[in-house]
Amino acid sequence: METRATRVRHALIVVWLLAMIAFVYLPSVAITLASLTSSRYFTFPVPRWGLDWWQKTLSSIEIHQILETSILIAAVVTVIAVVLAFFGALAFARYDWKGRSVFQKIVLLPIFFPQSVLGLALLLWFNALGLQLSWHTAVFAHLVWIVPVVTLVIAIQVYSFDPALEEAAYDLGATRFQVLREVTIPVLMPGIFSGSLFAFLLSWGNFPLSLFTTGADTTVPEYLYAKMVAGYTPGVPVLGTIATIAAIVILIGGYLVMLALNRRRRAV
Amino acid sequence: MSVRSDAAVAATTGGERRIRLSTGFRVALPVIIFLLVGFAAPLLAVIGFSFMPPRTFGFAGQPTLENYITIFESTSYISLLWSLGLALATVVILILISYPVAYGLVRVFGRWSTLVTLLFVIPLFVSENVRLYGWVLFLIKNGVLLGTLKTYFGVEPESILFTTGAILLGMVYVYLPYMLFPLTLGISMVPNDAREAATDLGASRWQVFREVELPLSMPGLVIGCLLTFVLAVGAIAEYKVLGGQQVIPITHDIEIAFTYAQNWPLGAALAVLLMLIVGVLVMIALRRFDLDRFLGRR
């Protein structure tokens, strides 16, 4: 039943969508343009295009170190978060137990919490425990926010999981560990995979938690922020563009792996 | 299909049921312990610290209410009102601009929905201050917008950078996905049958929206509003990067107390006030919320 009014309404929605997509990507376009000028200050239209600043940024040892720190933190966060969140998601959505609805709400709390305040609270806490701030404490801080997010992401997959599969495996004589390895983890793999993508990328882009908890180590968002408030340098757009491209590549790569996983599952 | 599978639970005997209860608790335990150490304990530390004498750095002092008295005698309430007001404005604007997109994701875009979702997800993973900096380059004098207008159209309007409007723009921009996705989940909970039935019974387009779609998609709307409000109240980068020093938010006061002023107990007390406001809101909204129904639908 496609009436004329419906068609017009749908066309308007599509136009609005395109406007919103433009809105969302406008700043990234501006950053990329700014990274491609060879002059010291950014003016538009760009007087002289060039990759000079890319060259300078990519050959800087300081930048290498910062990229390494960011990747290291994100990688460690991903591994720990996925393990914790996998079990958390089973408790969240798979098992019927007494404290479940309370548990679900506890898991949501850190997500519904201003991150800058959480960062400060963790700073106070580390200080009270006498811990030296470094990338280790930053990993812990990221986890407080990322474990709940990944728990939710995996839980959504767990909701569509049929417990009868596990029961059948038990009936066939499988041990608890075998069931986990042969049934539960493979079936939940898409959720675990998108959970780890989320973990890595959210840690990679996080600023408010890193700001208060990295100590002497510096992550990419922190470095960019420090440079931004200190005044303009074309290194900022370059590193910003690199961070954006990295996120897009990881996400699209992950999306393709996911498609392949799904296809294989369907083939089985 | 809900995994709770009530039928399966009902079918199992009492003994098996007891085992299930403990399994659930046991797999929940790592996350519970982690959040006790990583979330509950730091918050308690902040609360404890807020009662310490000003300018101390440990828990050794005699508990006092001095910090709270200082706050009530100061002008911090202005920062708090700005934070709350701009957060509220952000939420209202976000509802209006993301509803059509969320509706489209569920009902119009069809197989393009995955791609559209992906396009809105990508920016989430780029640090917000990088994207806000993109707005600076776009809006600044001789930047992308004003440079284009000047060179090709010969007009030179004032830049909106470093105004309250720019802060609002930044917040709407950064928190858009946090409204869009819960709202999309909410709208997907409205069964098509219900809409069609209402239309068949002679309801107008507006009546269908008000009487069927809005009430049934309410859980998504509530979650979206709550999430964006809480995040916007805690915002700080938007004010610093896009706002110049036009408006000082409460988070800035807190940060100053912790950094330049070196008055941790005062900062802790301010943080406790913010936590109270956010906490009460979240508790009220989530108290009677059925998460299984909301997340379990696919």
Structure confidence by residue, pLDDT tens digits, B245-287: 788 999 999 989 988 888 889 999 999 999 998 888 888 887 7
Position B68 pLDDT exceeds 60: yes
- Domain region containing B223: 75-296
Query: Helices B14-35 and A100-108 sit at what angle, rounded to 10 degrees?
Result: 20
- Rounded distance, CA B22 to CA A15, Å? 53
**Maximum mean pLDDT: which of B91-100, B130-139, B282-291:** B91-100
Residue B7, in any domain of the structure: no
Residue B49, in any domain of the structure: no
**Which residue of A lies nearest to B224 if distances are taken between CA atoms?**
A112
Overall average pLDDT of the A76-105 stretch: 91
Q: Is A159's Cβ below 8 Å from some Cβ in B?
A: yes
Position B58 pLDDT exceeds 80: no
Cβ-Cβ contacts under 8 Å, B27 against chain A:
87-88, 90-91, 95
The predicted pLDDT at position B1 comes to: 38
CA distance to partner chain A, nearest, from residue B73 (Å): 22
Find out whether A241 and A58 touch, Cβ atoms under 8 Å.
Answer: no
Residue B115, in any domain of the structure: yes
Helices (H), chain B: 6-11, 14-35, 41-49, 66-73, 76-107, 113-121, 128-139, 144-148, 164-188, 192-200, 205-208, 214-216, 218-233, 237-242, 250-258, 264-286, 291-296
Residue B44's pLDDT band, with cuts at 50, 70 and 90, is: very high
CATH no., domain A60-231: 1.10.3720.10
Overall average pLDDT of the B14-35 stretch: 75
Residue B50, in any domain of the structure: no
Position B288 pLDDT exceeds 50: yes
DSSP assignment of B78-115 equals HHHHHHHHHHHHHHHHHHHHHHHHHHHHHHTSGGGHHH
Q: Output A41 or B234, whichever has higher pLDDT.
A: B234
The predicted pLDDT at position B5 comes to: 44
Residue B170, in any domain of the structure: yes
- Rounded distance, CA B175 to CA B227, Å? 9
Structure confidence by residue, pLDDT tens digits, B79-90: 999 999 999 999
Position A109 pLDDT exceeds 80: yes
The predicted pLDDT at position A134 comes to: 92
DSSP A163: T
Q: Is A6's Cβ below 8 Å from some Cβ in B?
A: no
Residue A255's pLDDT band, with cuts at 50, 70 and 90, is: confident
For A2, the token pair is: 């496609």
Cβ-Cβ contacts under 8 Å, A220 against chain B:
127
Residue B154, in any domain of the structure: yes
- State the amino acid at position A145 in one-letter form: W
Position B22 pLDDT exceeds 90: no
Residue B180, in any domain of the structure: yes
The predicted pLDDT at position B33 comes to: 95
Tell me which of A41-50, A110-119, B179-188 is least confident.
A41-50
Structure confidence by residue, pLDDT tens digits, B170-200: 999 999 999 999 999 888 888 888 888 888 8
Domain residue extents for chain A: 60-231
Position A166 pLDDT exceeds 50: yes
Overall average pLDDT of the A202-207 stretch: 89
Position B46 pLDDT exceeds 90: yes
Overall average pLDDT of the A32-41 stretch: 82
Per the prediction, chain A carries an average pLDDT of 88
Query: Helices A61-89 and A185-205 sit at what angle, rounded to 10 degrees?
Result: 140
For B212, the token pair is: 């069927």
Length of chain B: 298
Q: Residues 125 to 154 of A: which have CB under 8 A from any B CB? A: 125, 127-128, 140-141, 143-144, 147-148, 151-152
* Phi and psi at residue B65, to the nearest 5°: -100, 10
- Interchain pair A95, B121: CB under 8 A: no
Structure confidence by residue, pLDDT tens digits, A226-238: 888 777 778 888 8
Residue A72's pLDDT band, with cuts at 50, 70 and 90, is: very high
Q: Output B107 or A50, whichever has higher pLDDT.
A: B107
Residue A159's pLDDT band, with cuts at 50, 70 and 90, is: confident
From B137, B109, B92, select the one nearest B232 (Cα to Cα). B92
The predicted pLDDT at position A268 comes to: 60
**Maximum mean pLDDT: which of B9-23, B91-105, B113-127:** B91-105
Residue B51's pLDDT band, with cuts at 50, 70 and 90, is: very high
- Which residues have a Cβ under 8 Å from the Cβ of B73 and sit 6 or more positions away? none
Model ipTM value: 0.87
Tell me which of A50-59, A165-174, A258-267, B172-181 is least confident.
A258-267
The predicted pLDDT at position B75 comes to: 84
Overall average pLDDT of the A50-73 stretch: 87
pTM for this entry: 0.86
Position A96 pLDDT exceeds 90: no
Q: Is A253's Cβ below 8 Å from some Cβ in B?
A: no
The predicted pLDDT at position B293 comes to: 76
pLDDT exceeding 70 applies to what percent of chain B? 92
Position A82 pLDDT exceeds 70: yes
- Decide: helix, strand or coil at residue B201: coil
The predicted pLDDT at position B21 comes to: 53
B287 CB neighbour count, 10 Å cutoff: 8
CATH code where residue B153 lies: 1.10.3720.10
Residue A79's pLDDT band, with cuts at 50, 70 and 90, is: very high
**Option in B27, B101, B267 nearest A90 (CB):** B27
